[in-house]
Structure formats: C-alpha cells, structure tokens
Amino acid sequence: SPRSFEVLRIGWYGGSGARMVWNSGPVKIKYRNTPTLRNATRTIETKWPISSSFDIGPEWVPGLYLVASVNRQGKIENVAPFILRSNPRDSKLLLIHSTLTWAAYNSFGGHSAYSAAINKTLERSQVVSFDRPYAGSGINHLGRDAISFVQYLESTGLNIDQVADTDINNSPSIAAKYNGIIFSGHPEYMTRTEFDTVAAVRNLGVNIAFMGANSAFWQSRVEASPSGPDRRLVIYRD
C-alpha cells in the first residue's frame, strides 16, 4: 500500500522531540528483495531505485534529521538519519555522531560487523554498507546515542554544532575550530585519521567529552560504493 515519507528535525519543541519539515504525500512503492551477500566480504548492499526525493532549503536549521517511512495508519515504520551541518563555529561546542558504529551494528539482511543470521561470528561482514535500511542494534544505537541525546541538549537550550564522524575523517581541521567536542555515546569505530585528530586537538587544549564507553575500540576505514563516497565501513581484523 502507499507510504508517505516525512523529514523530521530532531530537537526539542515545547516538549515534542521533533518537528516535520517536509512530507511527500502518498507514494506508491514496490516490495524490494533483500540483496544477496556481496562476495567474500559478506556485504549486504541495496541498489534500490529512488522512491522519492526532496531539496534542502536555506530555511532548514542545521542538526540531526530523520527521513521516516510512514504507513497509512500514521505509524513510523523505519527511519534513515542524515546530518545537516552548520558553518564551523556557529557554536563553541561540536557534537560528533558515531555513524560508523551505527553501520557496524546494523543487522539488515541478517549480517552485521558482529555476526550473521546463523550466529557465527566468523561469518560476520568484513565490509558493511550504509546503502541499506537500519535494523536491529543499528537502529537501537541511533535512538539511544543520537536522538535522545540531541533532544536532551536542545531541551537545555545549549547551542551545539553537529557533524558525522566521517566529516572529521575527511576534514580533520573542523575539530580544531571548537572549544570542546562531544561524542554522544559508543564511538566504537574510528578511522585512523579521526583517532589522530581527536588526540591532536586534545593536545591543542580542546576539551573532549565521551558520553559512553568502549570508545575507539576498532580501527577501520571507509570506502566508496556506487552511490557515493564513504558508503562502506571496512574492518577485516577479528
């Protein structure tokens, strides 16, 4: 049956944890099969056609956004996050979202960076893709470490810029522009560049806050997929 897609900005709006900034209206979509594994890396990656699209306007406020799939009963079935970046130093504080960790724990298609559907860790994905819906622990990490924390921060009135960990990997100088950087929770996966950047800005006197344990546990790297740069997380070591 038709679905609608809503773009929601996560924050704090008089007690509501989000506000809708765009709605597609009813869209007819087709059922798509879950892709088979991609060679020896055991990667699940979708190549589904575009069902709907939207333009980000100049009036959109920077921050954490969700694109929600909504059924005819008004129930949100799934969400996909994206981060609309602000100009550097709109705030003195920077929140870095751990998108690599969300992807690693995502078990859509029966495989994550931890285990497979048959629950053998040796069958885990060595390369996980961002080009798939969120499921299992992947969606749970997004809710626990990102959505709830952003809602809390905005409820206090604290002004804070937001970026993804991949932004720090690609543009390390961003982190040095702030008085403090915050990892909202469980930034378990980091690239070498991101790790070195955190250490370097610490040495420059930038304050660092980790709101969760098990930080920087896995060294990893990112690669492109057919849909664009930084769409695959690579981690071969067990």
By C-alpha distance, which of 140, 168, 155, 150 is closest to 9? 150
Tell me how far apart the alpha carbons of residues 192 and 110 are, in angstroms, rounded to a whole number.
Answer: 28
CB-CB neighbours of 225 under 10 Å? 18
The whole-model pTM stands at: 0.94
Q: pLDDT tens digits, the chain, 238 residues: what are they? A: 899 999 999 999 999 999 999 999 999 989 899 888 867 899 999 999 998 999 999 999 999 999 999 999 999 999 999 999 988 778 999 999 999 999 999 999 989 998 776 656 568 899 999 999 999 999 999 999 999 999 999 999 998 999 999 999 999 999 999 999 999 888 999 999 999 999 999 999 999 999 988 999 999 999 999 999 999 999 987 7
End-to-end CA distance of the chain: 42
The structure tokens 């809602």 sit at: 151
DSSP letter assigned to residue 132: S
